[in-house]
Amino acid sequence: MIEIIPAIDLINGQCVRLTQGDYKQKKIYNTNPVEVAKSFEDAGIQRLHLVDLDGAKAKHIVNVKVLEAIAKATNLRIDFGGGIKSDEAIKMAFNAGASQITAGSIAVANPALVSRWMGEYGASKIILGADVKGLKIAVNGWQEESSAELFPFLESYLTKGIEYCICTDVAKDGLLQGSSIDLYQSILERFPSLKLIASGGVVSIEEVQQLNEIGCYGAIIGKAIYEGKITLKELEKLMVSC
């Protein structure tokens, strides 16, 4: 069964959501991310996608204290991303309580470094972040588009031994209009061994079930939870039924 992974995005230590990665389209949902994380755990959730949006923009980790606080207050397995671009940053994230880190922009800019991390920490500890605009990889908090194309990018990392990938279609993110199921299906048809985590635009329980049916390993759900389109009770029932 697909793994349900709620998202907490951080700006100034607060739980926010952006629309299509636009920092000008910011909505604050809660000033206490630890409280939000506890509510997820109380609903039976086991994993959390925690994104340091300040870090993504600044190109270094900013909200490490929030990561530490959530890791101490819950037993959630946290995958943490945003601003992880150096050996010091990845050590900081793991020392603060992250179970996995997401390598996004750095995976485009410095594949050799990410490959070394996979060797040092284990491939299962590194999630490849493939955020796409069209079929090009977007970097640095989605503020820039790289020349890297999605399928060759995925293939290059699969040959290095990557296991997990979060793929977000930036055009869908935060719009509550559904996710890129066709894109995920095409990725899984080409790379069936990839543990693909769908992200961006997930809006209903039925859609989560669709993602499960096509073989996605996980689904990251953000705005749909905060806007009440998907309730924690619904997620709890879904997890109990599987």
Q: Which of 9, 52, 79, 173 is catalytic?
A: 9
How many Å separate Cα 16 from the centre of its chain?
Answer: 14
Beta-carbon neighbour count of residue 19 at 10 Å?
15
- Which residues make Cβ contacts (< 8 Å) with residue 174, sequence separation at least 6? 17, 18, 19, 20, 21, 25, 200, 201, 222, 223
Indicate the residue type of 48.
Answer: L
- For the record, the structure tokens of 122 come out as 């284990």
Q: Which of 54, 79, 131, 169 is catalytic?
A: 131
- Which residues make Cβ contacts (< 8 Å) with residue 110, sequence separation at least 6? 85
Catalytic (active site) residue 54 = no
For residues 1 and 242, the answer to whether their CB atoms sit within 8 Å is: yes
| Nearest to 126, CA basis, from 108, 104, 106, 103 | 103
Q: Are strands 164-169 and 218-221 parallel, antiparallel or unpaired?
A: unpaired
First-to-last alpha carbon distance for the chain, in angstroms, is 6
For residues 143 and 155, the answer to whether their CB atoms sit within 8 Å is: no
Catalytic (active site) residue 9 = yes
Active-site residue set: 9, 131
